[in-house]
């Protein structure tokens, strides 16, 4: 299965999709508002069936936050990557996909915990790992996070 | 009369108990807040983070050969396989071709690790159900594999045997003979596992139809590894996205379709047979050559992102690296199989008895450091 064929199939259902330069897998960049509609379309389309979200990653880049979705179609074994950018660094927000992919419920709690990205409509958005640490303030995976006691700067 | 009202009110009332963080059947520091109605589970809420070490954050200030040592400490029962994922990601990024000998050794080590991990799962699963004999049998056999590891890697549990580009050291001269002896022995012993536990009526009654999950739900929850394959979800990375030598060896993806605890049990027993088959195909053919490719002293990955998926003993393990061209990653994400598998525990345990929750937890084969990272 080469990427060009897959690209055409995706463009057939998502005519506005923008592709990033070629990497390991076909990558679609999108603004955060479209994430739910893209995921739903990719999952429901009978030609694609991207039904398995195997990894969801938060990223803190210089000018924006990103959430990366690694999707696989268990029927056709295609893999694509969705990159949703969140330009607002003050108050980052994005829609949840936890009702489309149930595994996202935990992954989104983790991203919220580490990056402070709010997932709108998430059923149970609490910190997942760091809620017991009372003196932990803020979100440690942000690049501007400072902790002079616990993090040794090299 | 008074007793009746007391018992009656307990059965009517919904109440909450804490299982863990220090509970032998959670296999580590996992805390489950269980809501009960009588003996029936109405909700399970996992509380995580008791052993969260921030490995992903630590990695951002460490070099790639250093990070290899951290990956051991995720799922410590499949340490080789976790090492493999990171090493492959770095090698693919640098476009280094590792020697054929390394691929053979890595594949064999991975499969030995898988067998050892499933043996320990089998011990503890039996013990969760009250069958203590399993524990001794399983550990007895696992010892052979740990001895093989110790001889070649110098370590029994946290090997850190793989490095980007190859291996730390060549295998011990007696490696092949010992592995072959072990396979010969284990082929004889594995049917005993079935005689001891699989056919046992109590074990069958306690696992058949307990903790069901359908294929669609399994995919949606990211339920991978033997747990996912117990629901008929063909998710073996070795088959569908082969790495190392898995596209050259002949083995079957063990699939069961019932989706209950017994199916997950049978997948793991089946996988031990398949792993032995893979090792037998490779062990006599290890080619001569270097045990490592030539690597630069300081490893710097070119700018870009790299993802590597491997099949760990508990499911799909993934490493995502975003590099800015330096010697440390800008961001490193570890996709751990147990994290996603645990997310379904509420669905699995709901409307079963609390004793079944132990069986379900055992059938998921959770390793807590892998969840917390």
Mean pLDDT of B256-263: 89
B167-191 pLDDT, tens digit each: 888 888 889 899 999 999 999 998 9
In terms of CA atoms, which chain A residue is nearest residue B373?
Answer: A129
CA B207 to each of CA B89, B262, B363: distance values in angstroms, whole numbers, following the listed order: 38, 5, 9
How far from chain centre, in Å, is Cα B312?
5
Q: Which two tokens stand for residue B54?
A: 């921030």
Cβ distance of A103 and B318 shorter than 8 Å: no
CA B282 to each of CA A138, B169, B240: distance values in angstroms, whole numbers, following the listed order: 51, 19, 20
Model confidence at B270, in pLDDT bands (50, 70, 90)?
very high
A89-123 pLDDT, tens digit each: 888 889 888 888 988 999 998 998 888 888 888 88
pLDDT at B192: 87
In terms of CA atoms, which chain A residue is nearest residue B56?
Answer: A141
B284-314 pLDDT, tens digit each: 888 888 888 888 888 888 888 899 999 998 8
- Chain B nearest CA to A40, separation (Å): 13
Identify the CATH homologous superfamily for domain B2-372.
Cytochrome-c3 Hydrogenase, chain B (1.10.645.10)
Cβ distance of A59 and B322 shorter than 8 Å: yes
Percent of chain A having pLDDT more than 70?
A: 95
Beta bridge partners of B35: B16, B43
Model confidence at B49, in pLDDT bands (50, 70, 90)?
confident
Beta-carbon contacts below 8 Å between A and B: 88
Selected residues 49-68 of chain B with any CB under 8 Å from a CB in chain A = 49-50, 52, 54, 56-57, 61
Is a pLDDT exceeding 60 seen at residue B369? yes
Q: Average pLDDT, whole number, for chain A?
A: 84
pLDDT at A140: 83
- Chain A nearest CA to B59, separation (Å): 11
Residue A68, chain B, CB below 8 Å: the answer is yes
Predicted-complex ipTM score: 0.88
The ranges assigned to domains in chain B are 2-372
Cis upstream peptide for B21 (omega within 30°): yes
Q: Average pLDDT, whole number, for chain B?
A: 87
Q: To the nearest 10°, the Cα dihedral for B295, B297, B299, B300?
A: -120
Residue B304, chain A, CB below 8 Å: the answer is yes
Residue A36: its H or E element: helix A35-44
Residue B305, chain A, CB below 8 Å: the answer is yes
Which pTM does this prediction carry?
Answer: 0.88
In terms of CA atoms, which chain B residue is nearest residue A111?
Answer: B333
The overall longest dimension of chain A from CA atoms, in Å, is: 53
A21-52 pLDDT, tens digit each: 777 888 888 888 888 888 888 888 888 888 89
Cβ distance of A24 and B335 shorter than 8 Å: no
Is a pLDDT exceeding 60 seen at residue A1? no
Residues of chain B contacting A53 with CB distance shorter than 8 Å = 222
Q: Closest Cα partner for B343 from A129, A106, A59?
A: A106
Is a pLDDT exceeding 80 seen at residue B162? yes
Selected residues 88-127 of chain A with any CB under 8 Å from a CB in chain B = 101-103, 105-107, 110, 114
Sign of CA dihedral A45, A68, A97, B86: positive
Cα B245 to Cα B279: distance, rounded to the nearest angstrom: 11
Is a pLDDT exceeding 70 seen at residue B271? yes
Percent of chain B having pLDDT more than 70?
A: 97
- The contacts of residue B116 (CB under 8 Å, 6+ apart) are B77, B142, B145, B146, B149
pLDDT at B327: 87
Cα B336 to Cα B81: distance, rounded to the nearest angstrom: 12
pLDDT at B1: 59
Residue A109: its H or E element: helix A104-115
Residues of chain B contacting A52 with CB distance shorter than 8 Å = 219, 222, 235
B88-110 pLDDT, tens digit each: 999 988 888 888 899 999 999 99
Mean pLDDT of B132-151: 89
Residue B49 has its nearest CB partner, among A59, A60, A131, at: A131
Q: Which two tokens stand for residue B32?
A: 């489950």
DSSP string across B21-86: SSBGGGTBS-EEEEEEETTEEEEEEEE--TT---HHHHHTTS-HHHHHHHHHTTSGGGHHHHHHHH
pLDDT at B319: 92
Beta bridge partners of B335: B318
Residue B305 has its nearest CB partner, among A23, A129, A132, at: A23
Mean pLDDT of B118-140: 88
Residue B57 has its nearest CB partner, among A101, A128, A140, at: A140
Helices (H), B95-131: 100-128
Mean pLDDT of B247-270: 89
Mean pLDDT of B336-364: 88
Among B8-17, B121-130, B222-231, which stretch is predicted with the lowest mean pLDDT? B8-17
Residue A51, chain B, CB below 8 Å: the answer is yes
pLDDT at A3: 78
Is a pLDDT exceeding 60 seen at residue A134? no
CA A41 to each of CA A59, B152, B267: distance values in angstroms, whole numbers, following the listed order: 24, 50, 33
Cβ distance of B220 and A103 shorter than 8 Å: yes
Residues of chain B contacting A66 with CB distance shorter than 8 Å = none
pLDDT at B182: 92
All structural domains of chain A, each given as residue ranges with its CATH number in brackets, are 3-132 (3.30.460.80)
Is a pLDDT exceeding 70 seen at residue B120? yes
pLDDT at B298: 86
């Amino acid at each position: 299965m080469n990427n060009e064929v897959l690209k055409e199939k995706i463009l057939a259902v998502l005519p506005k999709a923008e592709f990033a330069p070629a990497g390991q897998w076909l990558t679609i960049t999108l603004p955060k508002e479209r994430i739910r509609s893209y995921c739903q379309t990719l999952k429901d389309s009978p030609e694609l069936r991207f039904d398995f979200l195997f990894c969801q990653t938060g990223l803190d880049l210089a000018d924006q936050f990103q959430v990366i979705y690694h999707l696989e179609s268990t029927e056709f074994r295609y893999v694509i990557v969705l990159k949703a950018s969140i330009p607002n660094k003050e108050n980052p927000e994005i829609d949840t996909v936890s009702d489309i992919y149930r595994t996202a419920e935990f992954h989104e709690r983790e991203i919220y915990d580490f990056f402070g990205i709010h997932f709108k409509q998430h059923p149970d958005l609490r910190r997942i790992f760091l809620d017991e640490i009372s003196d932990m303030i803020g979100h440690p995976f942000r690049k501007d996070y400072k902790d002079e006691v616990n993090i040794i700067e090299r | 009369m008074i007793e009746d009202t007391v018992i009656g009110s307990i059965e009517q009332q919904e109440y909450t108990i804490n299982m863990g963080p220090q509970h032998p059947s959670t296999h580590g520091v996992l805390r489950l807040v269980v809501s009960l109605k009588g003996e029936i589970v109405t909700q399970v809420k996992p509380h995580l983070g008791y052993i969260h070490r921030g490995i992903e954050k630590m990695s951002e200030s460490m070099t790639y050969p250093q990070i290899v040592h951290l990956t051991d400490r995720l799922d410590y029962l499949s340490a080789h396989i976790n090492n493999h994922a990171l090493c492959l990601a770095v090698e693919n990024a640098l476009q280094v071709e590792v020697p054929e000998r390394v691929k053979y050794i890595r594949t064999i080590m991975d499969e030995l690790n898988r067998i050892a991990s499933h043996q320990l799962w089998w011990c503890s699963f039996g013990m969760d159900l009250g069958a203590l004999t399993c524990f001794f049998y399983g550990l007895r056999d696992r010892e052979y594999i740990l001895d093989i590891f110790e001889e070649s890697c110098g370590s029994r549990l946290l090997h850190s045997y793989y490095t980007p580009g190859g291996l730390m050291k060549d295998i011990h001269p007696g490696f092949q003979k010992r592995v072959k002896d072990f396979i010969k022995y284990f082929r004889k012993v594995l049917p005993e596992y079935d005689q001891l536990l699989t056919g046992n009526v109590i074990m069958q009654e306690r696992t058949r139809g307990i903790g069901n999950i359908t294929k669609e739900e399994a995919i949606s929850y990211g339920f991978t590894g033997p747990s996912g394959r117990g629901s008929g979800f063909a998710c073996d990375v070795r088959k569908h996205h082969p790495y190392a030598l898995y596209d050259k060896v002949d083995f079957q993806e063990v699939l069961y379709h019932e989706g209950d605890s017994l199916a997950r049990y049978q997948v793991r027993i089946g996988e031990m047979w398949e792993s032995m088959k893979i090792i037998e195909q490779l062990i006599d053919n290890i080619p001569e050559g270097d045990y490592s490719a030539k690597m630069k002293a300081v490893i710097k990955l070119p700018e870009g992102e790299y993802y590597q998926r491997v099949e760990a003993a508990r499911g799909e393990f993934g490493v995502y690296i975003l590099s800015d061209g330096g010697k440390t990653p800008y961001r490193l994400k570890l996709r751990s199989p147990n994290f996603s598998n645990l997310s379904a525990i509420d669905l699995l345990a709901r409307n079963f008895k609390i004793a079944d929750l132990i069986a379900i937890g055992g059938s998921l084969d959770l390793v807590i450091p892998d969840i917390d990272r």
